[in-house]
Chain A
């Protein structure tokens, strides 16, 4: 996806609920309002798990 783009806009484009993912850049997290440069390497990680619980 072409940048620059804010994290919030990225998640909207991907049609993802903000509560259901983390956006990880390197070894840290980025907030909703962070601007991702074109070519930025980020991981959008789902955080929702189902099942019977540990």
Chain B
């Protein structure tokens, strides 16, 4: 198989693009897809400071690498989730990447700062672990960005993540979530701008990027994620992709063009009606925010 751009031997085929690339042309392809996503959706403006949400996995480390190469002022934020050896190993991957690139990594350790780990917190709050984890990340990334004077939080959500979440939201017709599923969530009302510059790149492309760039990411899956719905949606979409390459990308881009505008009004209304958490000041629809409620439940002394 030959590279589509230069006709040298290819190292990866991308059936969605009906193309194959050699190493340099594939890395160029990834950079261009990120540049295009940023420009198309006006994600990051000149002179802005970016906080990259870093997990030690392929997507977040690739994103950080790409943003640094594109010349952005991008620091990383790693959250210690208290998931045993998995958290220890992912922290090492994040630290080693930062050291290798000479980049600044900010760390927040949830057990150290708030007194609980995600598995125990989820059990205490009777939430599935991914839900407790997601809400903690959203809260702490936002707070760290505002406190640290960052303009933008960038997350490593890729095309497969977005298509899987979209499928889940459509299956349940979760119109509030559909209205929020944009590659950019604008700042305001106590929120930093949130962007997803990998939304044009698939999960396999991000793993390939790391291998070809020599980025040592944590390959093992989070032990808490096993059997979750998100993985099931990804498998379903990949089964369709096997026989109809490009379906995932068409599903997601079609939603952005023709679906999302119908759901945005509901979200704007919701955002305008948010108050502030009595405990931490974060935007919330209740008296206290979901994260403060989680901390309270997780650290409440056992009766």
- List residues of chain A with CB under 8 Å of any chain B CB: 17-22, 24, 27-34, 45-54
Contact = CB atoms under 8 A, between A and B. Distances in A.
Contacts, number: 108
Q: Interface extent on B, as a size class?
A: 35 or more
B57 interface: yes
Contact of B156 (A21, A34, A46, A53): A53
Interface string B208-244: 1001101000010110111010110011001101100
Interface of B: 1, 10-13, 15, 20, 23, 53-55, 57-60, 130-131, 133-134, 137, 155-157, 160-161, 202-204, 206-208, 211-212, 214, 219, 221-222, 224-226, 228, 230-231, 234-235, 238-239, 241-242
B219 A45 contact: yes
A46 B231 CA distance: 12
Contacts of A53: 134, 137, 155-157, 161
A51 B228 contact: yes
A10 to B, nearest CB: 15
B130 A49 contact: no
B290 to A, nearest CB: 13
26 contacts: A18-B242, A19-B202, A19-B238, A20-B204, A22-B12, A22-B211, A24-B211, A28-B211, A29-B12, A31-B1, A31-B12, A32-B1, A45-B207, A47-B206, A48-B160, A48-B234, A50-B222, A50-B225, A50-B226, A50-B231, A50-B234, A53-B134, A53-B155, A53-B157, A54-B156, A54-B157
Instruction: Tell me the interface secondary structure of chain B in the complex.
Output: helix
Nearest to B61: A54
Chain A contact residues: helix, strand, loop or mixed: loop
A46 B238 CA distance: 13
A27 B221 CA distance: 22
